[in-house]
Amino acid sequence: MADEPPSILAGFASVRIPPEEAAAIAAVFVESLLVAWNHQRVGWSARMYRTRRELAVAFESDGGVKQLLYESLASRREAARAPAHRRWRRALARRG
């Protein structure tokens, strides 16, 4: 037991980070969170814009709302089927 190397976790207990470096690490972390949040917001905004545009076009054309609903149902059905199909293909690849 005495010949075992010291634990890595125990080695980190003695690490001291200067306050300036800790503040810089925290600032980088917060900045990366803000960038990720803004990226997500842009995605939501783009999705909302596309939805509004599709609804406006659907309401302006004859039979547009029905067509929009049918396309939405078809894409939801396809999305629900796709993951199961992918899992099946991966399972076959692992056996072979």
Question: Which two structure tokens, joined as six digits, stand for 41?
Answer: 């917001």
The two tokens of residue 25 are 């690490």
CA distance linking residue 66 with residue 81, whole number of Å: 23
Q: Write the CB contacts of 64 (distance below 8 Å, at least 6 apart in sequence).
A: 57, 58
pLDDT digits (tens, 9 = 90+) for 19-77: 899 999 999 999 999 999 999 999 999 999 998 998 888 888 888 888 888 888 888 88
The structure's pTM equals 0.48
- CA angle centred on 33, ends 32 and 39, rounded to 5°: 90
Question: Given a cut of 80, is residue 10 above it in pLDDT?
Answer: no
